[in-house]
Amino acid sequence: MSRRDMVIRTLAALSATVVDALLPETAAAQRPERMYRLGFLTTSSSPATAHAALTRSLADLGYHEGRNLVVERRYAAGELGRLPLLAADLVHANVDVIVTEATPAALAAKQATVRIPIVMATGGDAVGSGLVATLARPGGNITGLTSLASQLDAKKVELLRELKPDARRIAYLGNSQIVAEQIGFREVKTAAKAIGMDAIFVNAPVPEAFEAAFTTMTEAGVDVVLVPPSAPNTDGRSRIVGTAARHRMPAVYGAREFADAGGLVAYGTSRAALFGRAAVFVDKILKGADPSDLPVEQAKTFELVINLRTARELGLTVPRSLLARADEVIE
């Protein structure tokens, strides 16, 4: 063999070795990124400001919609009867995880599938509603967060009494079909009785019922009203706040969006914080965690927002002690 042939063979062997070494890296670089499918089920009628926190947190964790994430969104627009059909549609879409907003949505998702993991972004009493066995050991395919909305209702009764010391009757403006609101009303009734007040439940499942509901309250001698932060109520917050103003009815609401819309007082968990935290549960599940092993977390971030302008319009004097406890005062 000539010297020239030996050089050519040696160079060919070296080239082959280099190519073999690079192939795994090249193949990995060309391998398409996995596309995850996320279902989102809510009683709301459209995207809310708090929902964006879920998208932002997922992006921080490496899930970018349109690149490696597809989000299938289903809105019930306050029609609870549509939830089972929408939940079944998400199951048919074969999503990897379903995120729910509000207890009725979580219940519908639970009834629709025992296979697909479900993450509650918001909800009331997860144990009392039958969604999980216990918070520490949820069991089944559901985990996530509980907003403690119903447990906070007793505190809201106290807030209304501070704002209107002569109040004797409180109304709970809710939806009798929502288990969490039935539980919330029981909390209100107990808290009201403890301070010499009585409580009534006024059913208003859709925005169109708000006007008639406030008329009923006025006729029933209601002094103050508590409005839970259900998705339909939050969607119709401007309508509720406006109707309360016309009836000169002091109200405390369950989410800060109501105070931003002109509501008197809002006290509750931060919905944005809940949605942001829900993304962490989604990430863990997509990485292989079993939802039955992920304890349900209780909300940790609470907000008290007082709208002084509305208080003045209602002729109310907000105690300094209450103002000192507020996270934000709207002038």
- Kindly provide the b/e burial profile for residues 38-60, where b requires at least 16 CB atoms within 10 angstroms of the residue's own CB: bbbbbbbbeebebbebbbebbee
Q: pTM higher than 0.75, yes or no?
A: yes
Residue 25 lies in a domain: no
Residue 270 falls in which region: left (phi positive, over 0), alpha (psi -120 to 50) or beta: beta
pLDDT, residue 6, reads: 52
What's the CATH number where 92 sits? 3.40.50.2300
Q: Both 142 and 159 in a single domain?
A: no
Residues 141 and 186 in one domain: no
Give yes or no: residues 209 and 289 share one domain. Answer: no
- Rounded Cα–Cα distance for residues 228 and 244 (Å): 14
207 plus 315 within the same structural domain:
yes
> Running DSSP on this structure, what letter comes out for residue 93?
T
Distance CA 202, CA 217 (A): 8
Q: Is residue 46 part of a domain?
A: yes
Residue-number span of the structural domain to which 227 is assigned: 153-269+303-330
138, part of any domain: yes
Q: Tokens standing for 128?
A: 């009392």
Q: Are residues 321 and 197 in the same domain?
A: yes
Q: Where do the H-state alpha helices sit in 247-306?
A: 256-260, 271-286
Count of C-beta atoms within a 10 Å radius of residue 312: 12
Asked, for residue 101, whether it belongs to a domain, the answer is: yes
* CB distance 144 to 118 below 8 Å: yes
| The total number of structural domains that make up the chain | 2
Q: What is the pLDDT of residues 170-200, one digit of tens each?
A: 999 999 988 888 888 999 999 999 999 999 9
Residue 8 CA to residue 252 CA, distance in Å, equals 86
pLDDT of residue 267: 95
Q: CA-to-CA distance for 267 and 149, rounded, in angstroms?
A: 10
Largest CA distance in the chain: 111
Assigned domain for 251 exists = yes
Q: Are 119 and 291 in contact (CB under 8 A)?
A: yes
CA distance 185 to 105: 20
Same domain, residue pair 207 and 326: yes
**CA–CA dist 184, 200 (Å, integer):** 12
Are residues 165 and 140 part of one domain?
Answer: no
Distance CA(180)–CA(251), nearest Å, equals 20
What pLDDT, on the 0 to 100 scale, is given for residue 230? 84
Q: How do 97-101 and 118-122 pair as beta strands? A: parallel
Residues 180 and 314 in one domain: yes
pLDDT of 299? 85
- 275, 320: one domain: no
Query: Do 228 and 97 share a structural domain?
Result: no
Domain assignment present for 15? no
Do residues 91 and 73 both lie within one domain? yes
The sheet that has 265-269: what strands, in order across it?
198-203, 169-174, 224-227, 251-253, 265-269, 302-307, 328-330
CA distance 170 to 85: 36
- Look at residue 58 and tell me if it is in a domain: yes
Question: What parts of the chain have a pLDDT lower than 70?
Answer: 1-32, 148-151
Q: State pLDDT tens for residues 86-117.
A: 999 999 999 999 999 989 999 999 999 999 99
Residue 72: inside a domain: yes
- On whether both 197 and 307 belong to a single domain, the answer is yes
Are 142 and 106 contacting, i.e. CB atoms less than 8 angstroms apart? yes
